[in-house]
Structure 1
Amino acid sequence: MNIGEGIANTPIIYSLYQRCLNFETKKEAEKALTALLNEVNEGTYIEPSKQTYREYMDAWLKSKEHDLSVQTLKAYMSYLKTHIIPNLGRLPLATITPLHIQGFISSLRSKGLSETTTKRIFNVVNASLNSAVKLELIKKNPASLIEKPKVAAKETTVWTVKEISLFLEYSKSSPYYTAFLLAVTTGMRQGEVLGLQWRDVDFENECLYIRQTLTHDGKGFKEGAKSKAGNRSIGLDAFTVSALKQQRKTIVANKLKYGSAYGEYDLVACTNKGKPINPRNLLRTFDNIIKKASLPKIRFHDLRHTHASLMLQQGENIKLISERLGHSSVKITLDTYSHVLPNMQKEASNRLAQQLFNS
């Protein structure tokens, strides 16, 4: 009996059978058709989308407008226009294979793009295809079946306690002192520091809440943190609480001084007129203070790494540190600060030996 016998009057099944005729051997065709028949019988069959990848990406990006920061959205649009659409845009969404994705990655590398940029572009494609699976436009994500671009972890440079103290001493006269102090004592990200509002500082319980961030270009705010885990509370030490109270007095004085010209953003770290601090000005001042104090050159973000590393070195609970940093899992914290762990293990071994043999 012919494999197509008895199914010609079933349009979907017959079309699947027709598609199977493209296989090189009858055995391959029969195997594929059996799998497709099972999908139909089990109700898991997904009719292939007729959209091109370009059409799908236009709709997908529009759906992400409210979820992404302005900066991220700009980056996505640039990747789309320059790299993704010219390569994959013309292909029907349902026909994209792992081979297409692998070829796309190879083409990015042949352009001389860094592995970091290549990975970022791949992540956009991968995320869009994951959404297509959830929307039942395709059955599987072809990008999930290839070896993903890998970026070697960069070694982070952190300061010692002595270097931090010297930096804070030199930055006391800076209008950005509060921002620098918060970065050091809380491990907050730059956008979180510059977006912090007074309503989110709890003096009574000596903690603050991350509920808003300033965008990278300094032109707007984004509700919430970088991720769901980023919406968190962070305990404050007595020194930082005292510094924040002093900053609040300075702001009250500036409000009286500038009157209606004072910006009502309720920001903790802000300009004299209450407006958001321009991230470029913050980083320029940060670099200048480092030079004046003759300190090892680090990035502003490395203040966050310094905070975490020092807390690990003093034996704080890894879960607590992970929560302070707003990591979605302890694994991220461990992977990021694995360079600190060997010394901690040695110190832990010495402490145990001290108890065992010198008691």
Structure 2
Amino acid sequence: MSKAVGVGKTGNKWYYVITVGYDESGKQKQKKQRGFNTKKEAMEARTKALNEVMSGTYIEPTKTLYGDFLKDWLESKKVSVKRQTLDNYKIIIRTHVAPTLGHIPLSKLTALDLQQFINKLQEEGHSGAYMRKIYSVVSESLRKAERWNLISRNPAERVDPPRINKKDITVWNTEEIAMFLNSTREEELQIAFVLAITTGMRQGEILGLRWSDIDLDNKVLYIRQTLSHDGKELMSGGKTKSSVRSVMLPEKSLTALRKHRGTIREKKVAQGRNFQENDLVICTKFGTPVTPRNLMRTFYRVMKEAKVPKIRFHDLRHTHATLLLMQNVNPKIVADRLGHANVRLTLDTYSHLLPSMQREAVQEIEKVFADMKQYAIAI
């Protein structure tokens, strides 16, 4: 039914024109697509468009700019993601995506545009992990544009995602842990560091922990609430579905928690009606959440005083996992304590430990066969 009217050239660029249907009076409805560098490109694109018209999958190119579409996409995400995630999307779009790609019409956004965008991010020195986050925002938004029939195909599908180069994980040994914890004895936030090292909890999970989430008698705590990165919102649930979990507590944690609970009671008495009852394990003297910024300020100061290697707060989580794996704790148990979605993530994260664990495994096998000598196994 549709027939190509041809290709042509305007200035240095080629275009094609096709008939996409007829109006009520029987007059042809034609569409022109410009911007091709060669005649061959224009002809190939025309053939593809004609096939789409014939199969009923043709989507009329929209004049909407990608930047304008992203506003609608963000609006649609409000009902499906947490506020903190939405805020991260907004920052990524405002800082990186919109300035570079926002002026391009959605229908004219190409895989080459996206590849050049990724190359630019790499030249700016962003980490592979951060570039992946940016790429996922672009890819997911264009996937939605395809589902909404605004584009016929998602150009991000033809672009290789940025590679994530694994960084060496820095952890403390038992001596360094002892030196650090000894330096926290007079710190109000000591319990935060104890929990990080003995449970592997994330920063937001620790700062959002409530007394009602802890069962001291049965030596277990439940992660059901987190504090946002900006310290402004207590959010139910965890970072991911698997983050909502229970974690068994060692005696050191239980002792520290009982001591800390007495400190909280003193705060309540001192502040009286000025104390806000949020049931938080870690809180200010007024009962409000301790912000991540204030926690980090104390963390870095105590590290300096203790004269231990400087690490990130998140590395306390890595320290916990490393200690367990080095003690031959089953990786599945470690994954459960950390709230990993699966054990593969745990093994990938701590693959640097595998060589030494392999050696220990071989030694254990040798012990088994040494005990079997009396049976004269012929190997």
Contact 1:186 1:236 in 2 (8 A): yes
SS class of match (1:263): coil
Conserved 8 A contact 1:16-1:33: no
Q: Which residue of 44, 52, 55 maps to 1:36?
A: 52
Which amino acid is the alignment partner of residue 242 of structure 2? A
- Which of 112, 128, 139 does residue 141 from structure 2 map onto? 128
Kept in 2, the 8 Å contact 1:179–1:193? The answer is: yes
Matched, 1:178 2:191: yes
Q: How many residues align?
A: 351
Gaps of at least 5 residues in structure 1 are none
Partners of 1:299 and 1:344 lie apart in 2 by 25
For the pair 1:224 / 2:240, whether they are aligned, the reply is no
Residue matched to 2:70? 57
Q: Which residue of 1 aligns with 2:228?
A: 215
- CA drift of 1:296 comes to 1.8
What pairs with 1:66-105 in structure 2 (closer than 5 Å)? Answer: 67-70=81-84, 73-105=86-118
Contact conserved, 1:115 with 1:149, CA < 8 A, in 2?
no
Out of 288, 299, 304, which is 2:312 matched to?
A: 299
CA shift, 1:95, in A, is 2.7
Q: TM-score, normalised by structure 1?
A: 0.85
| Match status 1:272 vs 2:285 | yes
Secondary structure of the corresponding residue to residue 221 of structure 2: strand
Change (3 A) 1:219 1:9: closer
Match of 2:255 among 230, 242, 246: 242
Q: 1:114 aligns with which of 110, 118, 126?
A: 126
2:300 corresponding residue in structure 1: 287
The residue aligned with 2:375 is none
The partner residue of 1:318 within 331, 341, 346 is: 331
Contact 1:4 1:17 (C-alpha < 8 Å) held by counterparts: no
The 2-side partners of 1:2 and 1:52 are apart by: 28
Conserved in 2, the CA contact under 8 Å of 1:51 and 1:92?
yes
CA contact (8 A) 1:50 1:94 kept: yes
Q: 1:139 to 1:4 in 2, by over 3 A?
A: closer
Cα deviation for residue 172 of structure 1 reads: 2.1
Higher mean Cα deviation, 27-36 or 180-189?
A: 27-36
Structure 1 residue 348 displacement after superposition: 0.5
**Correspondence for 2:376:** none
Gaps of 5+ in 2: 6-17, 373-379
Give percent identity, aligned residues only. Answer: 42
Query: Is residue 52–residue 91 contact of structure 1 (8 Å, CA) maintained in 2?
Result: yes
**Paired letter, 2:278:** Y
Question: 2:126 is matched by which residue type in structure 1?
Answer: S
Aligned pairs for 1:117-196 (under 5 A) are 117-196=130-209
| Structure with more of its chain in strand, by fraction | 2
Shift of 1:8: 7.1
Length-normalised TM-score, structure 2? 0.81
Q: Distance in 1 between matches of 2:283 and 2:42?
A: 72
Comparing 335-344 with 44-53, which one deviates more in the overlay?
Answer: 44-53
Q: If you compute each CA radius of gyration, which structure gives the higher value, 1 or 2?
A: 2
Structure 2 Cα separation of the partners of residues 2 and 122 of structure 1: 37
Report if the CA contact (8 A) 2:211-2:279 is conserved. yes
Letter in 2 for 1:114: H
Q: Which has the higher contact order (CA 8 A, sep 6+)?
A: 1
- The amino acid that maps onto 1:170 is S
Higher mean displacement: 137-146 or 95-104 = 137-146
Alignment deviations for residues 252-307 of structure 1 (CA, whole Å, 9 cap, x no partner): 23212211111211101122332211322222222222222222221111100001
Matches of 1:269 and 1:18, distance apart in 2: 63
1:343 corresponds, among 321, 331, 356, to: 356
Q: Is the 8 A contact 2:176 2:308 kept in 1?
A: yes
1:60-118 CA distance string (max 9 Å, x none): 12333462444x545543432343223222323233221111122233345x3424454
Of Structure 1 and Structure 2, the greater helix share is in 1
CA offsets per residue over residues 28-58 of structure 1, 9 Å max, x none?
A: 5796367526743xxx665555532112101
> Are 2:40 and 1:24 equivalent residues in the alignment?
yes
Aligned 8 A contact 1:265 1:275 in 2: yes
> Any idea what SS the aligned residue of 2:183 has?
helix
Q: CA RMSD in A?
A: 3.2
Deviation string 1:321-342 (CA, Å, 9 cap, x unpaired) is 1122122232221111110111
Checking the alignment, whether the CA contact within 8 Å between 1:233 and 1:324 is kept in structure 2 is: yes
SS in 1 for 2:247: strand
Determine which of 271, 276, 281 is the counterpart of 1:258: 271
Higher mean displacement: 133-142 or 346-355: 133-142
The 2-side partners of 1:39 and 1:211 are apart by: 50
